[in-house]
Amino acid sequence: MKHILRDPITDATAWRASDFKSENDWMVELSPAHLDELHDALASLQKNNSLGFGREAFQLPSLGPVLEDVSDEIQNGRGFAVIRGLDISQYQTHQLERLLWGIGTYLGAGIVQNADGDLIGRVTDHGETYAGTDPYKSGIRGYRTRVALPPHTDSCDVVGLMCVRKAKSGGESSVVSAMAIYNEIIATRPDLLEALCEGFHIDLVGKGTAADQVSFKRIPVFSYFGGKLSCRYNKRQIEIGAEKSGQPLSHRHQEAIDLVRELSLKPKFRLAMDLAPGDIQFLNNRITLHARETFEDHDAPDKKRVMLRLWLSTPGGRPLAPELADQLNTGPRGGVHVRA
């Protein structure tokens, strides 16, 4: 029998949009000294163009301690931060990838995020075609399209997004505290807690050890383990996973995941942020949900919306129950299985 938390979360992880006065509450501004350190650290990698290097190869004497404070805020505080001040016009895309990876070494360990083995993903419209309006039904992950991505979590501990180019219109980001959502469910629909904590076989959209696969284990939307509450939520992946596994959702389970969606879209929980080129957003997937609005893109390929994405594992971070830790059938806090 899984232990279900019946008491509300009262720490900094459970916030509402009104708790923040301005973007300065979550923004970390890079100083000229920090920018010089990043430039020098990148220059020190000139003989090594590949990713996968460790923190020791990317020395940041004054920025490093700042990033460690950011990591603490992501792990134990509100669960997100935005780093601002990088002038991306100074760098080519492959250099930006190494800068993002290098910064990430101070926040966790990078993991593979698709079957091609990419350590940095390109969040952009890849022009792939699919039937209807739901790319998931065709096995296409949403980040490769222009569709709206409602509040969800990614399959890693921490996700980093560097804005390279904005869309012609739309594409705004938002963040929601999963802990605040849980508190609302305790207050209004405690009868659905069991349904959310029991677990679901989740469609992996090509991220598992085989192309058309669901999670081996039943993964709960909310899990209380080691004294901490954690979340894993993607409504469509739960629904398609139920279809693929031949275990249709009961009315109670459907109502429960619908409630999480409904609450996550409410203005009082949704914190909107418009990322500018050079901004780097870091989010803790265990305590926050994130979303993206649909967007209209530019026609010219060199002007299209692009975000660079980094997935991080943080083994020393939030304790996870075994079924929540193995989201991709690749072991505790593992990345995507490479099949290329």
Is the pLDDT confidence value at 340 over 70? no
HSE value, Cβ hemisphere, 13 Å, CA-based, for 153? 27
Rounded CA-CA distance 105/53 in Å is 8
Label the pairing between strands 288-292 and 173-177: antiparallel
Task: Tell me which residue of 257, 286, 149 sits closest to 205, measured CA to CA.
Answer: 149
Give tens-digit pLDDT for 25-40: 999 999 999 999 999 9
Rounded CA-CA distance 209/214 in Å is 10
* Position 136 confidence tier, pLDDT thresholds 50, 70, 90: confident
Q: How far is CA 156 from the centre of its chain?
A: 7
Give tens-digit pLDDT for 53-93: 999 999 999 999 999 999 999 999 999 999 999 999 999 99
Is the pLDDT confidence value at 215 over 70? yes
pLDDT, average across residues 184-212: 95
Widest pairwise Cα distance in the chain: 59
Q: Which three-class secondary structure state does DSSP give residue 130?
A: coil
pLDDT at residue number 95: 95
pLDDT at residue number 109: 97
Task: Tell me which residue of 222, 157, 239 sits closest to 186, measured CA to CA.
Answer: 222
* Position 252 confidence tier, pLDDT thresholds 50, 70, 90: very high
Q: State which of 124-138, 198-212, 275-289 shows the largest mean pLDDT.
A: 275-289
Give tens-digit pLDDT for 306-336: 999 999 999 989 999 999 999 999 999 999 9
* Position 141 confidence tier, pLDDT thresholds 50, 70, 90: confident
Task: Tell me which residue of 106, 109, 33, 36 sits closest to 64, measured CA to CA.
Answer: 106
Rounded CA-CA distance 159/167 in Å is 20
Structural domains in the chain plus CATH codes? 17-325 (3.60.130.10)
* Position 126 confidence tier, pLDDT thresholds 50, 70, 90: confident
* Position 144 confidence tier, pLDDT thresholds 50, 70, 90: confident
Q: Quick count: other Cβ atoms within 10 Å of Cβ 138?
A: 12
Is the pLDDT confidence value at 1 over 70? no
Label the pairing between strands 80-84 and 27-29: parallel
Q: What percentage of the chain reaches a pLDDT higher than 90? A: 87
HSE value, Cβ hemisphere, 13 Å, CA-based, for 57? 19
- Phi/psi at 283 (5° precision): -135, 140
Q: How far is CA 211 from CA 112, 217, 239, 338, in A?
A: 15, 17, 18, 10
pLDDT at residue number 130: 82
Mean pLDDT of the chain: 95
Task: Find tokens 């050890």 and name the residue.
Answer: 209
CA–CA–CA angle 190, 234, 196 (5° rounding) = 20
